[in-house]
């Protein structure tokens, strides 16, 4: 039975044909001139055979014809592929050894960042928001109610209840509006009222030989007047000296101090001055008493209603 399929050309003839094409490509002037003239093909073949003969190579004519035909058909010529997505992906795949390690490191960093954001930061943020919501909706209002109830039960003056109720209302309004700072300020105000009610102390004039017990000044707004002050401190029943918030009448600033000047009439100042001059000790050194359940000091000597924290 005959074989209908033509046998493939021997490898050496294929190689020779490729060499012929290569020769024609390197002799482009010969190829372009001769290939355009079909009638002179025989002369081209003869010249090609002569070229190879000079090199000591005998090339069969059918191989030369195959090479000429292959050149005309652009066989054995590499044509770069046109740019495309598939080509780009193929080049990336081939060069993966150069960029793969960095890409993997970046991918891991991105994965860790996303994992940290979604698995750690977002849950933490949600917990913080929920905590803030609960604090504003429940904790701070409950704290205000508890402080108000304590003040109501411990105070002995109506003024404390009125101030506490006003603070509680403002604080709850702030909490309902999401104003945490306003709500916290109301809580701090209620704590201050409660602590003031619970304090017990005696206001005493500084009564040591080597320290000033009083001073006088000329007020800036009226330099022809003179203001007189006794320097006092707050002493608890167990002998502890307190530091208290005091309004300085010259700059209208509240400062927490352990000693301050209480403005008194000149007669009170002169009496204390004479008492100390007599034997170095002020016998009547009590200026006022602060009792449990009250907001203000009950003064036992006349005062003018002002204080200084610096002199």
Distance of CA 17 to the CA centre of its chain: 73
Low-confidence stretches of the chain (pLDDT beneath 70): 1-18, 20-44, 67-68, 70-79, 134
Please give the pLDDT value at position 11: 47
β-strands 298-299, 227-235 pairing: unpaired
Contacts for 247 with CB less than 8 Å, ≥ 6 apart: 253, 254, 307
Q: What is the pTM of this model?
A: 0.58
Rg (CA), the chain: 53
Q: What is the pLDDT of residues 251-298, one digit of tens each?
A: 999 999 999 999 999 999 999 999 998 888 899 999 999 999 999 999
Q: Looking at residue 86, what is its pLDDT?
A: 81
Q: First-to-last CA distance in the chain? A: 132
Reduce the DSSP state of residue 46 to 3 states and report it. Answer: helix
Q: Are 169 and 192 in contact (CB under 8 A)?
A: no
Domain boundaries, the chain: 11-72, 123-198, 201-308
Output the pLDDT for position 5: 46
Extended strands (E) in 155-206: 201-205
Residue 224: its pLDDT value, please? 80
Is residue 186 within 8 Å of 171, Cβ to Cβ? yes
């Amino acid at each position: 039975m005959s074989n209908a399929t033509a046998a493939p050309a021997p490898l050496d003839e294929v190689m020779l044909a490729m060499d012929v094409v290569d020769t024609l490509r390197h002799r482009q002037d010969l190829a372009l001139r001769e290939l355009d003239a079909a009638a002179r093909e025989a002369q081209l073949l003869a010249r090609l055979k002569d070229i190879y003969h000079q090199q000591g190579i005998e090339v069969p004519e059918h191989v030369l014809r195959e090479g000429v035909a292959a050149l005309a058909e652009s066989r054995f010529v590499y044509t770069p592929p046109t740019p495309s997505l598939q080509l780009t992906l193929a080049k990336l795949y081939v060069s993966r050894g150069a960029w793969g390690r960095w890409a993997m490191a970046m991918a891991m960093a991105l994965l860790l960042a996303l994992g940290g954001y979604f698995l750690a930061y977002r849950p933490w943020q949600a917990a913080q928001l929920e905590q803030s919501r609960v604090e504003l909706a429940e904790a701070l209002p409950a704290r205000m109610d508890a402080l108000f109830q304590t003040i109501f039960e411990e105070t002995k003056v109506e003024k404390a209840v009125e101030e506490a109720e006003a603070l509680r209302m403002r604080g709850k309004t702030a909490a309902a509006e999401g104003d945490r700072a306003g709500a916290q300020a109301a809580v701090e105000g209620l704590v201050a009222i409660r602590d003031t009610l619970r304090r017990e102390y005696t206001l005493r004039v500084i009564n040591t030989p080597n320290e000033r017990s009083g001073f006088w000044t000329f007020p800036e707004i009226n330099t022809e007047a003179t203001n007189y002050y006794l320097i006092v401190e707050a002493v608890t029943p167990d002998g502890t000296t307190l530091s208290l918030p005091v309004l300085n009448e010259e700059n209208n600033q509240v400062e927490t101090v352990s000693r301050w000047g209480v403005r008194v009439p000149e007669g009170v100042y002169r009496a204390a001055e004479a008492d100390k001059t007599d034997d170095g000790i002020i016998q009547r050194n009590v200026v006022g008493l602060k009792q449990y359940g009250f907001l203000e000091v009950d003064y036992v000597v006349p005062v003018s209603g002002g204080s200084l924290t610096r002199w």
